[in-house]
Amino acid sequence: ELKVEQNPLFLSMQEGKNYTIYCNYSTTSDRLYWYRQDPGKSLESLFVLLSNGAVKQEGRLMASLDTKARLSTLHITAAVHDLSATYFCAVDMAVGNEKLTFGTGTRLTIIP
């Protein structure tokens, strides 16, 4: 059974600082997704990572994937208040068996 773990679960950081959220998964996969969820809202797609070494960036967020280590990171650069949200990673089991499994989520609070 695929398990997806994120850490930290909660993160409070000051504006302007950098930090990284980690996503570990238990079985082989080369497809990883990052989502953002604002309170009371649905999930918004941020990144789709499809191969070992994949790196994608959008604004102050950068995601990377290391399939050998079964690890993805979401790096936040010079955080701003608007980035406060809960961030989820999710992993596919395999082609043809695409049960998307979500991590526990990281609740990020940016303090002015």
Partner 1 sequence: NAGVTQTPKFRILKIGQSMTLQCTQDMNHNYMYWYRQDPGMGLKLIYYSVGAGITDKGEVPNGYNVSRSTTEDFPLRLELAAPSQTSVYFCASRTQGSGNTIYFGEGSWLTVV
13-42: contacts with partner 1 (CB under 8 A): 31, 33, 41-42
Q: Is 50 an interacting residue with respect to partner 1 (CB under 8 A)?
A: yes
Q: Is 100 an interacting residue with respect to partner 1 (CB under 8 A)?
A: yes
Question: Is cis: bond before 39, omega within 30 of 0?
Answer: no
Q: How far is the CB of 81 from partner 1 (least distance, A)?
A: 21
30: its two tokens? 């080369």
d(CA 90, CA 53): 17
Q: Are 55 and 32 in contact (CB under 8 A)?
A: no
Residues that bind partner 1 (CB under 8 A): 31, 33, 41-43, 45, 48, 50, 88, 90, 95, 98-105, 107
